[in-house]
Every structure is written in structure tokens, then in C-alpha cells.
Amino acid sequence: MIEKDYAEDVLTKLLATWSGPDADMRAILDVASAEIAAIGLEPAVNEELKAVSAHHGHGGVLFNGHLDTVPAGQGWTRKLGDREGTLIYGRGTADMKGGVAAILAAARELKAKEVPFSLLFTTDEETTMNAAAKLQGTGFVRKAAAIVVGEPTDLAIVGSEKGILWFEVTTRGRSAHGSMPHLGDNAILKMMKLLAAFEPYTRPKDHLAEVTVNVGAIDGGSKTNVVADLCAVDLDVRYPPHLTREDAKRFVEATTRVVGVPADVEILHEVPAARVNENSNHIRKMKELAGPDVRAVSYGTEMAYYAQVNPRCLVLGPGKPEMAHVPDERVDLAQVVKAAEIYAKYAEALGPM
């Protein structure tokens, strides 16, 4: 039986240990490792990748989560750890320390029942996903009976997610004195034309089925009284699984050509799209526990890397996805406990494989 008090205690410890991008991830790894050891497992810390894994028995389900968070940001009206009924507030509650707490609560139950399973917690999901990319080739990832990523899905099954490509797009001009702009060639004005062409893709009719573009950052010019000779923007392009990264790159390059604005296009970061077979056994078993619907999402998770080597993947976790990265982020403790119950029953149902 999943103990609510245990899940709450673990979540409280995780929240109390800051793991934003400026943190020393050793601290949060120590917290997770201590909980793993308390369950009776041997935590294996990968110092290079700043990840921790553990195994009980041979085979079984691999439960994956990330311990890092985005910055706290501004606009909060609640303090870290504030409670309102069964809701707990704080950065990382939904994304995804609530999911990690649920995984550890399930692991405690599964260890007591001698059900085989594995755990893998990373600390760079919010930045590079380098650990997932590097660890996808390990035997316990490739051979797992199933891989459950505990990201917030409101306890819905997710079997498809969009790919991610971050671009830096640069326009170039010619500088001149600000009093004589006609003698220069303004790179910022060129970029404005280009961004106008991308604007329709910020408001798609169907954000799951279509390519979307977010203009995340812009940097142009050097001084108010100088015509800008350089302007760069960072674009976050999300593409559905039926397209490839090459399709997404061609889309950006073609848009610059259609507008007639010469631009340099460089890929900064990428995460592949993922889609699993909704009729496969590992999905059918989860449907029996979590309901018949299998959803697609516009965001990316570490499933994108694991699914490349093991098709038996899915995402399911406590917390509403829209709570991720926002002020007053929160998770329902009742949902954390429910997720743990689903995880434990799922691992029992699938067995070692």
C-alpha cells in the first residue's frame, strides 16, 4: 500500500533542495540517493552526467524522472512549501519533483513485494537532456519491459510528443551614423520582416499537428545612434512526429528565402520527436490502470531519447502540464499518491519480461 505520509515527506525533502540551473546538482543527487538507499537499493551515481540509477532484480519497468527545475522566476504569491488542502506549492512541485516522489513511493512498495524494476533520475532535462542522450544505449534502458517517464500529464497517458529544434537566425546589414540611416542597411529592420513571416506559426489552429515557432530572444544593434549591422534571434521550433528534423530546418530556411531576407541559420539545440504504438502491450496494460485515452503533447521529455532504442515507452505523472514553469506552481498530493499506485500496479502487471 502506498503511504501518503512517505510520499509527502520525500516531496518536501526534494522541494527543500534547490535544483535550478544555478544549483550544484550534487545536493539534489544526494537527497535522491539517500532515499534510494533507504528503500534498500544501491544508488549508482554517474558523476560525469550527474545522474543516479538503481535496480532491483532483473528487468522490469524503468521509472525515469528529472531532479532539476527551471529558475523560480517572478510573480509568485505563494511561498515554497505552502499548503492549501492537498495542494503543495513551489518550483518543481509539478515539474517534476511530485513525479519523482511518486516513483520513489512506488519503488518502496515494489521492493517490499520483490517486483523487479529500475530507477533513473537525471539533472539536466531542463537544459540539454545530455544524460538521457548518453544513457539511452545502456542495457537497462534498451531491455526494460517498459519505460515510464513521470513528467506531469494529469495522470493521462502520453504516447506522442513533438520534436524540438532551437535555432539562432542572424541577419546582417551595414552600419552608418544614426543621423544618416539611409547610408546604412539596418539588420534589425531586416529581422522585423523575417519575424513577421514567422508570426502566423505562433498561433496555429492545431498546435499538436502543426509546426509552431516561438521567438524566445532577440539581440541587435550596438548603440542608439548607430545603424544596426547585426541582429540575431533565437527561435524555438516544435514539429510533430510525422515530420523530421530536416523538414523543420528546411521550413526555417525556406521562410527566410520566401521573405527575401538573407540570413544565417544555425541549430543550437535539438530533441527528437517521439511516437509509440498505441496498440502495443505496454500501452494496453497502462490503459487498464489509467484510462483508455492516449494523448499527444507539444512539449518534449526524455522519452524522446529512450524511444529511439526501446519502443516500450510512455509518459504519465502527477501534476497538470500547464503548471510547469509558471508562478505558483503546485501539485496535488493526492495525485502524487495515485500516480505511485498506478506505477506499482503497472510494474506488477508487466513483470520482469
- Tell me, yes or no, whether 20 and 154 share the same domain: yes
Beta-bridged to residue 168, according to DSSP, are 234, 266
- Tell me, yes or no, whether 22 and 145 share the same domain: yes
DSSP state of 93: I
From edge to edge, which strands make up the β-sheet containing 163-172?
Answer: 212-220, 230-239, 163-172, 264-271
CATH code for the domain in which residue 174 is found: 3.30.70.360
- Tell me, yes or no, whether 74 and 170 share the same domain: no
Looking at 246, 271, 296, the residue that finishes a domain is 271
- pLDDT > 80? residue 161: yes
pLDDT one-digit tens code per residue, 227-261: 999 999 999 999 999 999 999 999 999 999 999 99
- Tell me, yes or no, whether 312 and 344 share the same domain: yes
- Tell me, yes or no, whether 102 and 177 share the same domain: no
* Residue 224 φ/ψ, nearest 5 degrees: -60, -35
Distance CA 261, CA 195 (A): 11
Predicted pLDDT at 1: 84
- Tell me, yes or no, whether 59 and 108 share the same domain: yes
- Tell me, yes or no, whether 81 and 127 share the same domain: yes
- pLDDT > 80? residue 223: yes
Which range of residues forms the domain containing residue 185? 163-271
pLDDT one-digit tens code per residue, 109-142: 999 999 999 999 999 999 999 999 999 999 999 9
Predicted pLDDT at 292: 96
| Overall average pLDDT of the 141-153 stretch | 98
- Tell me, yes or no, whether 209 and 307 share the same domain: no
E-state strands within 193-309:
212-220, 230-239, 264-271, 274-275, 294-297
Confidence of residue 352 (pLDDT cuts 50, 70, 90): confident
**Nearest residue to 37 via CA among 111, 117, 132:** 111
CATH code for the domain in which residue 84 is found: 3.40.630.10
Predicted pLDDT at 186: 99
Do 265 and 248 contact (CB within 8 A), yes or no? no
Distance CA 265, CA 260 (A): 14
- Tell me, yes or no, whether 151 and 201 share the same domain: no
Predicted pLDDT at 286: 99
Confidence of residue 49 (pLDDT cuts 50, 70, 90): very high
- Tell me, yes or no, whether 60 and 156 share the same domain: yes
- Tell me, yes or no, whether 11 and 153 share the same domain: yes
Predicted pLDDT at 351: 87
Looking at 249, 271, 293, the residue that finishes a domain is 271
Average pLDDT, the chain: 97
Distance CA 160, CA 308 (A): 13
Collapse the DSSP code of 138 into the 3-class scheme (helix H, G, I; strand E, B; otherwise coil) and give the result: coil
Looking at 218, 238, 271, the residue that finishes a domain is 271
Distance CA 187, CA 232 (A): 9
The answer for 60, left when phi > 0, alpha when psi is -120 to 50, beta otherwise, is left
Here the cell at position 193 is 520582416
- Tell me, yes or no, whether 130 and 151 share the same domain: yes
pLDDT one-digit tens code per residue, 276-307: 999 999 999 999 999 999 999 999 999 999 99
Beta-bridged to residue 165, according to DSSP, are 237, 270
- Tally the domains of the chain: 2
Predicted pLDDT at 311: 97
- pLDDT > 80? residue 353: no
| Overall average pLDDT of the 32-58 stretch | 98
Confidence of residue 348 (pLDDT cuts 50, 70, 90): very high
